[in-house]
Structure 1
Amino acid sequence: ADTLFLVDSWLTDMGSSTLAVLSLLALFLHQGEAIRCYVCSSQRDSSCKDPFNSKQHEHLLTHCSQETMRNIGDNIFPGVFSNFGYHTSQPEEFACVKAVTKNYDREEVVRSCSIPRADTFDVCSQLKARGDVTFCQTCNSDSCNGARGLAPLALLAAAPVLALLFNKY
């Protein structure tokens, strides 16, 4: 019920097609491979913005399940599975997503459940095609959408190796 209210509130309050697509994508989850993702919108909760303190916001972690997302689909988006070319019987893994949108010079952060990137479908490409998404990233581990982004972390982890290489030559 909380997830249903959150998605309904995003659509009502923001009127953003980007948030609608992000919410629709959450419908493609398959129960049994539960992943926990942060689910929030900075439009409704300013603590969802960056910098995001995951330790202080564990209450925003949600077990993503097909059943929960199907309830959202049945009540708000009937027929959405077939509209996107997916069916609930298709096995999909779980993923988390973080998207940053810019609406009327106002930055909004959305963290949610999603389907992972696949050869046939890329959540972030779909969102970015709408034009108002300035950042989008999916990840496949528990609570991974609480980070600013994986690229800066990878660079930080690679820094010692790069330093050794540059010092050698």
Structure 2
Amino acid sequence: MARSAVTLLSLAVLLAIVKLGSSTMCYQCNSQSQTECGDPFKKEKIRLVDCNNEADVLGYNNQYLRPLLAGFSYNIAGATKYCHKIVTQTGTVLRVCLEDNPSAMNTTCQLLAKSQNIKHCSVCDKDNCNGAGSLSASLSLAVAALFASYLFLKH
């Protein structure tokens, strides 16, 4: 009985920590239409999107970024997307999935910084990271949970 409980607990911990093959989940909002999107950020009322969901991401970015970033190339179908937080000169906060270079993740923000419309840009590659703050589990935590389960089962 105790052995099956530990096995189930170990499996639950692993499933909570390791999400194989999943894409990045980001907040997607605009503080002009949702005041909760601004700072201070109220994540409970903001939609999370899967950055691999091209229809969601491309449609949203076309609606909210096109007027802001005239001449900037974004929405490249199939490109790796990361969470971005963009603040305009007028104070509007945008939280979106945007393409970026995996080996130099700040490339998009550097390009956006050249626009006179952008006051701040940040990029991150963890789930929910373009919100106020987030907790993320590590591989070391998963290994520790497995080791503890092994020791418990051994005795």
TM-score (norm 2): 0.54
- Partners of 1:93 and 1:38 in 2: CA distance: 16
AA aligned opposite 1:60:
R
- Partners of 1:71 and 1:37 in 2: CA distance: 14
- Partners of 1:113 and 1:35 in 2: CA distance: 9
CA deviation after TM superposition for structure 1 residue 64, in Å: 1.6
| Residue pair 1:33, 1:93 contacting (<8 A) in 2 also | no
Q: Which residue matches 1:3?
A: none
Question: C-alpha offsets along residues 45-75 of structure 1, whole Å, 9 cap, x if unaligned?
Answer: 1111111122x23x411112253258639x8
The root-mean-square deviation of aligned C-alpha atoms, in Å, is: 3.3
Alignment gaps of 5+ in structure 2: 1-20, 67-71, 134-155
Question: Residues 126 and 51 of structure 1: is their aligned pair in 2 closer, same or farther, counting only changes over 3 Å?
Answer: same
TM-score (norm 1): 0.50
Question: C-alpha offsets along residues 62-110 of structure 1, whole Å, 9 cap, x if unaligned?
Answer: 112253258639x888xxxxx8499646xx433100011113xxx1100
- Percentage of pairs with the same residue: 29
Residue of 5, 23, 39 corresponding to 2:28: 39
Structure with the larger helix share: 1
- Partners of 1:37 and 1:120 in 2: CA distance: 16
Bigger Rg, structure 1 or 2: 2
Matches within 5 A, 1:119-130: 119=104, 122-130=107-115
Alignment gaps of 5+ in structure 1: 1-31, 78-82, 149-169
- Partners of 1:84 and 1:101 in 2: CA distance: 18
